[in-house]
Structure formats: C-alpha cells, structure tokens
Amino acid sequence: MAEYASLIMFAAVFFCLLLGYPVALTLGGTALIAAGIGVMTNTFEPTFLFATPNRLFGIITNQTLIAVPLFVLMGVILEQSKIAERLLSTMSKPFGSMPGGLGIAVTLVGMLMAASTGIVGATVVTMSLMSLPSMLKANYDPALATGTICATGTLGQIIPPSIALVLLGDVLSNAYQQAQLSLGIFNPKTISVGDLFAGAVLPGLGLVLFYLVYLLTVARVTPDRAPAVASKEKFDLVEIVTSLVSPLVLIFAVLGSILTGIATPTEAAAVGAMGAILLALLARSMTMKAALEVARSTTRTTAMVFFILIGASVFSLVFRGYGGDALIQRLFEQMPGGLVGATFVVMLVIFLLGFILDFIEITFVVVPIVGPVLLAMGLDPIWLGVMIAINLQTSFLTPPFGFALFYLRGVAPDSIKTTDIYRGVIPFIVMQLLMMLLLIFLPELATWLPQLIFSRG
C-alpha cells in the first residue's frame, strides 16, 4: 500500500476538489496529512519536509513569476477602461456590412483581448457582455454567436503574451532541468517563457485563421445564420486606425521585446502594465472607482495564483517523498506504445481534468509530475507546452463541463438555450483538434520559430 501512497494522495486531492474545498488548502492539507500518516507508520522520511522553506523562498524570489501580477494588471486595466469595447464598436463598422462580418470583428477583437488579458473567464465574460447583444440584434444564429464568443474567449490560453504560458513556461523549465539531470546531464539546457511564447505564435494565429475561414464559409453557404448588418454610420478609416494603434502597439511592444531578446518576460510585463495605465489615462476612462476595482482584482488573482503555487509545492515534495515520480516513470515505461502511448494518456488525463480544474491547478499539480518523465523520454519541451495549452483550451470548450460554457451561460440572456451553446462550440472544437493533429504530424509549427529566434537545439 505504501508503494501506491502517492497515487492515493492524487486521488484524495481530486475527491476533495469535487467536494468544493479550496484548491490551495486541499493541496497543502492533503500533503501534510499524508506526510503525518507516513511518519507515524515509518513509510515517509520527514526530512523531505525540511526543503519546504527553501521551496517557498524560491517561489517568492522567482523573477519569472513577477510577470504574473504585471500581466494581470495589464489585462484588468484594459478591461476596466473600456478600450476593448470601443475597439469592437469601431471594428464592427467596416466588417459589419458584409455577411459574417460582425463575427469576424468579434474574433479579431477577441484575439486582441486574449493577447492582453490572458484569463479565459475574464475574456469570455467581457466578450459576451460586449458582443452577444449586438450579434443577436443582427439576427445571428444563437449557436454561431455563442460558439464564436466561447472560442475566441479561450484564445487566451495559447496566444502570447498569456498568463497561462508564463506559468506553464516556468513549470516546464524546471521539469526540463529535472529530466536532464535524471539522464545524467549535469550541464542541462534551459528553456524560457520566451521560448514558449515563440512556439505558441504560429499555432495561435493558425487557430484564428481557422475561425475566420469557418465564419466566412458559414456566411457564404448559409447567409441567414450570419447576415450583414445594415448600418447608417459610415466608417472612418482614421477612427479605425486610431482605435487599433494603441492596443496593437501595446501588444507588439510586450511580445516583440520578448521575442527579440530586448526584454525578459518580467520586464516586458512591466512595460505592458505601464502602457495599459497610460492608455487608460489618455482615454480618460479610468475613474477612481475603476482604479480601486483594478487594484482589488489584480491583488485577488495574484494571491490566488501564488497561494495555489505554495500548496502545489508542498504537495509535490510529499509526492516525491513517497516515490511518486519513480512510480509514474515505471508506469509510463510499461505502457503500450512507449512514448506515444504515454503522451496520449497524459493528454487525455489533462483534457478530462480541464472539466473540473482551472489551468493554474493543472499547471502546478499535473505538469510537474508527468513533465519530467515525458521530457526524459524524448519529447521537446516547447512542443509539449504548446500541446498542453491547446489541449486545455479544447477542454474548456467541450460540453457539458467546459469552463467557457459556464462563463457564457452565466451572462447570456434566457433566450439563449444551453443546447445552442453546445451546438455552437462543436465546429470550433473540431478546428482545435485539427490544430493538435497538425502539431503531431508537423511539430515544427511549435519548434521552428523558437529555433529561429533563440537558436535552440
């Protein structure tokens, strides 16, 4: 029984989460209870817990993780300052006069929101409140409207600069070093958040292209599902360019400085936060009430992330103390299909866990356990990170438990049926599965740009 104590711990965590207990307290509490039982039964070496202070100090002093509150601040300011709302209104004018045009405008604005906010819930809710009434008023098919909003809202998982990629990049960096050390490589190669950002660019833009082609096809084949919007307002090219310039400059300044090596992700996040503050001040849309809400929301989200990270750190210590990492490695090596079979099982498990856990919990709990084993078996860390991000994005869209569906259902009018939402997301799920298949057969989609920019490999 002691041999499988680590797996019992894992099962206990998910059982407690299903009962509704807080994630951070569940992780830390389960680990400490398991360690206490192990000490009393002489099946756990208590010296493993002595490493806890060093681990916590490492979290606090981790330069990469400073990017988290800064990116959160950037996204919340752009949301509260109504910049995205004005952008959608402006973009709807040139595109709305063509069939499917309003859906295209929503997708493009959603892409920009995803790149700046990076939090699925915030993006889906914001896009729903901004665009769903307009799409329904324009007689869009409810399924097409809700599916478009849900899909574009989840782009924050894969389009950099994304909080999900920051956290995933930091965890995968540690996992990659562990994997190399386990293979006897004592001068290990490293990967960075910038590598993962570069790897996610082409798959992220590819998904946006898939969405746009789908919307144009639907509008052409069944124009009554995505009709043109008759508008008496003539669009002003200067107005459109002006509204586009500020968010695009901000995103390119953040992402470009990382990809060109001018700034680290943390430094670029600081640029993004300051840029968002300046945009809000120039737009004169940041009231004192909005500023207080920005501070509260940023503090709340940041505290949640780091509290979960501390609980996950304690859990991983106890998990390894019980030999969980060695057990996982043996199970993967004995699995039919070798590396391919192990990767498939991990992706399936992550997909299913995406129904009940947010990306933060999966990143901090699951990836540190399975990551070192898969990377030691030969997987490319950038490819693995991009696949996990798209996998979670697909999970958040999949009925009946996808997070994005719940977020949209919570703010959608009663006239929208739940079945409409489910029908609407299915084509987008197929497109995301297609992107995962392309990554399997063409891994260069994720690895080419990092190699080109950072000369990896």
Asked, for residue 321, whether it belongs to a domain, the answer is yes
Q: Cα separations (Å) of 135 from 71, 110, 148, 420? A: 30, 14, 10, 14
In this structure, are residues 78 and 276 in contact, taking their beta carbons and an 8 Å threshold? yes
CA angle 269, 291, 87 (to 5 degrees): 70
Least confident range from 5-14, 113-122, 320-329, 423-432: namely: 113-122
Please give the torsion angle defined by the CA atoms of residues 253, 256, 261 and 265, in that order, rounded to the nearest 10 degrees.
Answer: 70
CA distance 272 to 300: 19
Q: Cα separations (Å) of 141 from 95, 103, 181? A: 17, 11, 54
Cis amide prior to 160 (ω within 30 degrees): no
Asked, for residue 45, whether it belongs to a domain, the answer is no
Q: Is the pLDDT of residue 118 over 70?
A: no
Please give the tally of structural domains in the chain.
Answer: 1
Q: Is the pLDDT of residue 441 over 90?
A: yes
Query: pLDDT category, 457, cuts 50, 70, 90?
Result: very low
Asked, for residue 43, whether it belongs to a domain, the answer is no
Q: Report the pLDDT averaged over residues 222-251.
A: 75
pLDDT (tens digit, 9 = 90+) per residue, 135-164?
A: 888 899 999 999 999 998 888 788 887 788
- The pTM of this model reads 0.84
In this structure, are residues 364 and 371 in contact, taking their beta carbons and an 8 Å threshold? no
Range of the domain at 380: 56-283+316-454
Return all residues near 27 (Cβ < 8 A) that are at least 6 apart: 13, 308, 311, 312, 314, 315, 365
Sign of the CA dihedral with 441 first, then 446, 447, and 448 last? positive
Residue 380 has φ and ψ, to the nearest 5°, of: -75, 130
Question: Residue 419 carries which side chain, given as an amino acid letter?
Answer: T
Q: Cα separations (Å) of 343 from 62, 321, 326, 440? A: 29, 24, 17, 11
Which is higher by pLDDT, 206 or 128? Answer: 206
pLDDT (tens digit, 9 = 90+) per residue, 103-112?
A: 998 898 888 7
List the one residue out of 380, 391, 397, 400 whose CA is nearest residue 344: 391
Asked, for residue 311, whether it belongs to a domain, the answer is no
According to DSSP, residue 50 is labeled: G
Asked, for residue 267, whether it belongs to a domain, the answer is yes
Residue 195 DSSP SS3: helix
CA distance 25 to 382: 31
To which residue do tokens 């849309």 refer? 285
Q: How much of the chain, in percent, has pLDDT values that exceed 90?
A: 21
CA distance 436 to 81: 35
Asked, for residue 1, whether it belongs to a domain, the answer is no
Give 179: exposed, middle or buried? Use CB within 10 Å, 0-12, 13-18, 19+. Answer: buried
**Tokens representing 176?**
């990659």
pLDDT (tens digit, 9 = 90+) per residue, 272-296?
A: 889 888 888 887 777 888 889 889 9
pLDDT (tens digit, 9 = 90+) per residue, 167-192?
A: 898 899 988 988 888 888 777 788 88
Predicted pLDDT at 62: 82
Asked, for residue 169, whether it belongs to a domain, the answer is yes
CA distance 21 to 13: 10
Least confident range from 69-78, 82-91, 206-215: namely: 82-91
Q: Is the pLDDT of residue 247 over 60?
A: yes
To which residue do tokens 């004005």 refer? 86
**Tokens representing 398?**
């999949």
Which is higher by pLDDT, 436 or 283? Answer: 436
Query: pLDDT category, 439, cuts 50, 70, 90?
Result: very high
Asked, for residue 308, whether it belongs to a domain, the answer is no
